[in-house]
Structures are given as structure tokens and as C-alpha cells.
Structure 1
Amino acid sequence: MQQGELINPFPSTHGRLENGAIGRNTSDWEQRYRRAVIAGDTAATAVVVAAIGGFFGARDAANWHEKWGILAFGTELLVLATLAVSRAWAPAVLGQGAEEFRRLGRSMFTAAVVLALGGIAFTSHNIKLWIFVAIPAIGLVTMTTRYLLRVWLHKQRNEGRCLRPVLAAGDVATVRDLITRTRKFPHLGWRVEAVCTADGLGLDGDQIDGVPVVGPLTDVANHVRRDGYRVVAVTPDAHWSPDRLQRLAWNLEGSDAEMVVAPVLMEVAGPRLHIDAVLGIPLLRVSMPTFTGGRRAVKEVVDRMGAAVLLLLFAPLMVVVGLLVLLDSRGGAVYRQRRVGKDGREFTILKFRTMVADADRARAELAHRNEGAGLLFKLRRDPRVTRVGAVLRRYSIDELPQLFNVLTGSMSLVGPRPPLPEESAAYGPDIRRRLLVKPGLTGLWQISGRSDLSWEEAVRLDLRYVEDWSLALDTVILWKTLRAVLYGQGAY
């Protein structure tokens, strides 16, 4: 181990040994990270329980042990038990994606239900405090500590550390796409270090985008056992018959490698994918997207309540911004524009005015300078933008009036970008699926680069949200929006 690694709690261990093999300690950082998460959850639970028990128990010191001590200790054990049972500490879900927080939320809900049943069974008079105060507080604190750990982990991965060495096996084109994606999103924790193809050849002879092709698909298991890759990513190829995939899985047994198979499907993920065994045949079942029902009703309530709370919080700022807009240039403080919402219904979107008056009329004169992707019209240095407007756009403050659109039901806090009528009119059947849900104040496009995205990437993200929507995904997007706004990436 190098000297610099001694101060790193999750050191990079992906380096190759002198004989070319990857060390078997490649998963050390994963175990360290998992232990850090468990320690963080345990400490957060203990602190919250101690604070609540100490504060309220101090008023009844004579009966502290009977009324508060047992409940406090029992609540802490219950929360940690539900985290373990819900597999909220599984290495596969730690560090990325919404599943980690979904399991965390499920654990807190389970703990609250068990506490409620226990209170009924033992006729406890203090159980409400632990159900409605302690459990939500524990959930909030543990989510915060996990997020901070995740930020640290992603920073390490962006610097090339804490990555899982991957052997990709499949068609040249699909492997190349996998390499491109892992390099674009290093926070996911994969780095393709070797490739196997059907004939053992790549695009440049023995390489694919700088990654060496180490052999044919028939030698995948041998390379994994010799070099210790942590992930075997199987991409579509005519070679992969069911028998060959099963044989590969058998040959990988006993190794440290995780086998991941990319199905030949559209980009569907998250809660819509289920594995079923029918007559001994493993089937990948894709459930229909959810556009109605209980979860959508919860989303509606959260949208309205969230918009109302945010409007109260930002009311002073919005008043100040409105006055600055009026003083900076001629025209009103609020700009109104027709946009297309759910099911193609038009509505009037509200924004703080960031351009000079009659800016829409000057658009035709600037059409030849358009830098926007696809159907979008964008200019990095738009002469119509005012001085105050440039600042408002930089930090997305101009979008705060859209909270009124959320409050009245024409928009959601999270959803696809609301298109202009002329953009919507040019949509093909596939892109029109964006209109199956309400447009959002923020969304995957907001946290992924906004105007810096290509048209195809923006559409892909919006369609992914429509297909894979969940309450947990909304929570993650809202959380990440704050960072996107502060950095102002792609905002112009």
C-alpha cells in the first residue's frame, strides 16, 4: 500500500499486480464503505433516540427507565433490525440509484408499523412520540448521513478511485456503448478494463476505445478467475444462447465476480422490472407504467403541499426579485407563456421576466444563431437577456413563479420539461409519451445538464422518467436539484 493511501478510509485497490492480475482485495473499499454506512445509521439512530428520550424523559425522571428507557432502547434495536431485514445495507444498492433510499424508507415504515402494533399490544401511552417523531427524525438523519457518504464516494470515483474493474463480454457495438457510458458516468462505480468479443477482435485490432480485447467469449470465465474482475457485464451478442449464459454463470461460481446481463429491451428499469420463474424458466417481467392509482394520488398531495410550503418560504425573495426585474428594464415582472402539459392540454406557465419586452418578436431575427438542440431554441449569449435576467437564469430563480402552476395542478414538482406548442406539434409518436404525465418544475433533464444536453439525450431522460417514475426517484431528483441550481450547469 502506498503511503498516501493510509489516510484514505476507502482506498483505491483496482491497481494490477506485477503479474498483470488484479488483486483480490478489490472489494476492500466496498466493505469499508458498507461498514461506514452501518456505523452512520447506528450513530444517527442512537443520537435521535437519546435526544428524544433524554428531553422528554427528563420531565418524568422517577419513571424514566420504565416509560422511556425501554422504549428508547427498543426503538433503536427495532430500526436497526428493520434496516437489516430490508437489506438496506446490501453492497449492491449502496452508493448509487434510488433503491438505497427506497429501502431506507421501507425500513422506517416497517419500524413505525411494528411500533404501533406493539403499542396496541402493551397499551403503551408514549408510543405515539416514537412513531410520529422519533422514526421520521431517524429517517431524515440517516438519509442525510448516507447522502454525505455518497457525495464523498462519487468524488472518489470521479477521480478514478473506488471503481469496480469490469470485464465486458458481447458484441463490439454494445460493448463500446457500455464503455462510453461508464466513462461518462464514473459515479456509477464501473470501469471497463477488458473486453471479450465473439472473435477476440475489436475495432482497432486488439482494442475498443482504448480498452484491450483479451480474448473470445468462450474464455470469459478463465480471464475472470485469472485476473479477478469484480463484474462481468454481458451485452447482447448472437453468441449468448441460454445454455451458454447458464454455463458461464456456473463457471463463475466461487469467484468474486458479479455477473450482469443486459437484456435486449428499451430503457426500462427500477420498480417496473421483475424476475419471475414460470415452469422453471426465468422470465423478465416488465409491468405497465403507472399513470394513475394510489402512488399518483400521493404525488399530487406532495406536489400541492410542497408548492404551498415553498411559496411561503420564498415569498420574501420573490418580492425582491420582482422589484429588481421592474427596476432593471421596461415590462412586467412576471412573464406568461403558453406551454403544453399532460395529455396535450395547454396552460399558461409563469416565470420571472428575464428578457427585454417583446423578446418573442425578435426571435425570428436570431433564428440563424440558434445553438439549441433539436426543437429547442437557445443562445448562450442571447442579446435579449437583461442584466438581472442573466443572474436569475444562472440560478434558476426565474422559475420560482412556476410553484403557482404546481399549486393549481397544471405542473408537478418533478416531471419532463414543459414544451412549447410548436415543439409539441413536431413531436413524433415516441416523443409524445412525454405528455402522459404532468411537466415538472425540475426533472432528470435539470440535474443532468439542462441546455448542455443533446436533443436525443434530453428526450431519453424525459422518456426514462415517464417509464420508470417512482416516489423514491422524485425524492432523489429534488435532492439533486439543489446542487444543480447552485452550480448552474447548462443554465443560460
Structure 2
Amino acid sequence: MQRLDFVSPFPSVSGRPATGEFLRSSTFWEQRYRRTVIVGDISVTAFVVVAIGGFLGVRHASNWHEKWGILAFGTWLLVLGTLAVSRAWAPGVLGQGAEEFRRLGRSLLTAAVVLALCGVAVTSHNIKLWIFVAMPGIALVTMTERYLLRLWLHKQRKEGRCLRPVLAAGSLATVGDLIARIRKFPHLGWRVDAVCTTDALGPESEALGELDGVPVIGQLADVADHVRLGGYRVVAVTPDPHWSPDRLQRLAWNLEGSEAEMVVAPVLMEVAGPRLHIDAVLGIPLVRVSMPTFSGGSRAVKEIVDRLGAALLLLLFAPLMALVALLVMLDSRGGAVYRQRRVGKDGREFTILKFRTMVSGADRARGLLADRNEGAGLLFKLRRDPRVTRVGTVLRRYSIDELPQLLNVLTGSMSLVGPRPPLPEESAAYGPDIRRRLLVKPGLTGLWQISGRSDLPWEEAVRLDLRYVEDWSLALDTVILWKTLRAVLYGQGAY
């Protein structure tokens, strides 16, 4: 795939942003990526229907052109039609979060339902093969194709290409926080190239200065003018007393006709996902925040998935677990499994199971190492803990030591996904806010696992756990489980 270079609008701190030329360069890669996705969907879908149709044609050569060829071509057109109607090729969702795959899945499910209804209408038994063979095959290859394209896009973004130029407008504190978050996650596709503040002053009270290396180019009142001049693709509005409802509405009007997308960061920064709903009441747009889901149908589904998933994984990893248990006992004296008291849902204690990675009696030696603690907050961690065995080092790096926790999931004291299970002495020191982590079952993996594990600051680990508690959904669990595989393979933050 050809490299898509991205040109910054700021050749220097004092330079002026380019106009039309920069706008064209900032949208070129989006148009090209969208075309690549569309061509990819068309190609892989055609490949599947031709392959399946060809196989069926060999078996039914006498009436291939009359029957199987029509079904193959009709299925291909139906899938492409549902992708278009469901806006699965909309630029705003391509490469962005789980919405792209939700729309793709919804489109393919719709195509399968329509295909089934057509089969009932014409009383065709042959159409079952297309519903139960072709449609799952199309889903598999299109999902894989989209995922591989996204991997390529994320790689480009980490190298500073294929990014949307952002103009951030708000207070110095909130804009600074936004800049830090965007730089931490470049795969999201944003790059703050300019800042507008209330009085066009930087942090050192200097006119047209810098904020974290980003030029301050003007006042909040002039945001729309700067957008049209600089060709920014996103206007990120962060909290500031200047932003009254009237001014936000006027800004939205002034941005009409430009290529910019206006994004407003609400005050409820840590509430997101399925709990946020936009309602119009008497012509007033209201953000409705629903209550967190701690029971009900979705939680029942989660319980079923946890138990079945744990049972299947135990069967899959049984040979590996037997080998690890033998290696642990051969490496050092003691049993293969380590048992420890942890705190679970609603503060109830349970016994967590792990493969032993330290020498016997390691708990008693912890006090001697207290002055060398490298853990954040209430955690006790050492990068080079002398108590860890040779086999234990490998087990920890790839999280193999946590496989026995599948038994905890199977028996109901843990979940596949959830907050990190704390020690009793840790939970005893929790404040009211942090205790919200105990409203759900602790997890074998979680947001903390895919975000750096032991390398995370304590405050960030708490924030991620609370975010999971507040914004939990089955879709979020699916994403976390998928990303856990990569986090385990790389071993980042595991020690």
C-alpha cells in the first residue's frame, strides 16, 4: 500500500497555516482510505460468492447458470446494498472505534434476513446454503479485511501520517489535558495543530505563545475564522466559561459549509458509551445520562458467557496448564498453585488461584523489601523482585500465571473482564470513590490489562477501573478480550 504523507499546517511556530492546499492534503488520505475499504469489501465479497458458487456449480453443473449463478450474483448485490444503506462506508466511522464493526455486522445480518425472506417467498431450499455458508464466510473475510486495513491505518498514524488536524478551543487546563490524551493515543487519528483560548494567551501569559508545543493562534471568539483559514478537520471545544449555549450555537452555524467537524467535550468526562443519550426536549438538546447497569438481561448474558468461556478455555489450555504446573514444581520447592485472599464484588473476599511464580514463603519477605517498592499508589511491585523464580519470570511476562483464575471465573467469584481484584489491605484503604470498583466482579483482564498493567500510574489504573464500572457493555467486554491477546503477547507492564 502506498504511503500517505501528511503535511503539517505549521512549518514553524511563527508560520501561518496554509489554506486550500492544506485542506486538500488533510482530506486526501481519508478519501483514499474510504475507496480502499469499498474496493476491499467488493473484492472479498465477490471472492466468497464466486468460490462458494463455483463449488456448488461443479456439483450441480446442469443448472448452474439458471440457479447458482443467479443466487451468487444476487447475494453479492444484496450484501453491497445493505453496506451502503447502513452507511458502513461513512468516512466518520472508518478506522474509528467499534462503530465500524457494529455497522458492518448489522449490514451482514440484515442481508442474511432479507436472503432468508426471499427464500421463503420463492420456496427455495437451495438458499439455505447461502444463508448458513455464504453469509458467515462473507462476514469472516470482510471483518478480517477491515481489521487488517485498520492495523495499517494505526501504523501510519503512529508514524505521524493519516491524522486529522484539530483546532482545540477552550481553557488552558482543559485543552492541555486534551493534547496529552491525544498524544498518548495516536491511533485515534487526531493531532492538535492549533489552540484558541479566551484571550489568545499561552500559559506564560504571552500573546500567540504555545501550549505544550502547540501554537496559540487566537481567541475563542475567532475560532470559525481560523478554521476556514487553516482548513482544520476537527474543532474540539473543551470546557471554558466563555462557551455559553448561545456562543456554541453560533459557532456551529459559522462552521457550516466548512470541512470541519465540531466536537464538544462535556463536563462529564468519564461518562461515555451506552450511558450517554442525546434527547431534544422542547427544542432544547439535552444529554441524558442513564444509570450504570449492574443487573438485568445484559448482566445475565455476561454471566453465561463468563461460565461457558471459562469452561472452553480450561479445556483448551489444560495441556499447557499441566506442563506449567510440572515446571513450577521442578524449578523450586513448593506447590504449583498459589492461593491468596482477594476482595470481590460488594467487598466479599474470595481465594484467587495463580501459578506460583515466587519462592515459598515470599509473603513473609515482603516487609524486608518495602523500601524498594516501585508500585503506584497502594500497589506493591518490583521490576526485579528477588523472590520471583526463573520459571515465574516467564509466566508473569506472558500472564500464564493467571490461567488458574479461569477456575475462579467458572465458580462465579470472578469474571473474564472486570476491574483488577484488590488485596484486603488495599480495599481497606479505599475511599468512597474508589470503592465503586467493588460494585462488579473483578476480572481476569480489563482496561488496566490492555493499557499498560503495572506501568500505569495509580490514578490512571483507578480511572480505568471506574470507567469500566460506569460504562460497561457487552461490546466493551468483546473489545477488551480481543485486545488482551496483543497485550499478553507483547508483555508490556508485566513483572
TM-score tier (shorter): over 0.9
Q: Name which of structure 1's ranges 159-168 and 7-16 shifts more when overlaid on structure 2.
A: 7-16
Of residues 338, 342, 346, the one that matches 1:343 is 346
Equivalent positions of 1:7-406 (< 5 A) are 8-15=2-9, 20-22=17-19, 23-25=22-24, 26-204=26-204, 205=206, 206-406=209-409
Q: Following superposition of structure 1 onto structure 2, how do residues 439-458 of structure 1 map, counting pairs within 5 Å?
A: 439-458=442-461
> Structure 1 residues 136, 416: closer, same or farther in 2, change over 3 A?
farther
Amino acid at match of 1:20: P
Q: Return the letter of the residue paired with 1:10.
A: L
Shift, 1:67, TM fit? 4.3
Q: Work out the CA distance in 1 between the residues paired with 2:481 and 2:394.
A: 22
Deviations 1:237-262 (A, max 9, x none): 11111111111111111111111111
* Matching residue's letter, 1:407: L
Deviation at 1:445, TM superposition (A): 0.7
For 2:290, the aligned partner's letter is: S
How far apart are 1:57 and its partner, in Å?
Answer: 4.2
Contact 2:164 2:233 (C-alpha < 8 Å) held by counterparts: yes
Unmatched 5+ stretches in structure 1: 1-6
Where 2:125 maps in the other structure, the secondary structure is coil
1:412-438 per-position Cα deviation (integer Å, ceiling 9, x unaligned):
222211112222222222222222222
Task: List alignment gaps of at least 5 residues for structure 2.
Answer: none
One-letter amino acid of the structure 2 residue matched with residue 81 of structure 1: G
Q: Which residue of 2 aligns with 1:473?
A: 476
AA partner of residue 438 (structure 1): K
Q: Provide TM-score, normalisation by structure 1.
A: 0.94
* 8 A Cα contact 1:413 1:440, kept in partner: yes
Once the two structures are superposed, residues 431-466 of structure 1 have per-residue CA deviations (whole angstroms, 9 ceiling, x without a partner) of 222222222211111111000001110111111112
What secondary structure does 2:322 align onto? Answer: helix
Which moved further from structure 2: 470-479 or 14-23?
14-23
Deviations 1:199-253 (A, max 9, x none): 1101032211111111111111111111111111111111111111111111111
Shift of 1:161: 1.0
Deviation at 1:15, TM superposition (A): 4.6
**What CA distance in whole angstroms lies between the structure 1 residues aligned with 2:416 and 2:52?**
33
Q: Distance in 2 between matches of 1:266 and 1:231?
A: 18
Distance 1:142 1:77 in 2: 15
Moved more, 169-178 or 409-418: 409-418
Aligned amino acid, residue 270 of structure 1:
G
CA 1:145–1:172 in structure 2 vs 1: closer, same or farther (change >3 Å)? same
- Asked if 1 retains the 8 angstrom alpha-carbon contact of 2:9 and 2:17, the reply is no
Provide the C-alpha distance between the structure 1 equivalents of 2:210 and 2:58, rounded to a whole number of angstroms: 69
Aligned residue in 2 for 1:4: none
Query: Residues 272 and 68 (structure 1 numbering): CA distance in 2 closer, same or farther, change over 3 Å?
Result: farther
Tell me if structure 2 keeps the 8 A contact 1:101–1:472.
no
The Cα of 1:13 is off from its aligned counterpart by 4.1
Residues paired across the two proteins, number: 486
Q: Which moved more, 1:114-123 or 1:475-484?
A: 114-123
Q: TM-score, normalised by structure 2?
A: 0.93
| TM superposition shift of 1:38 | 1.8
Aligned-partner residue type, residue 24 of structure 1 = L
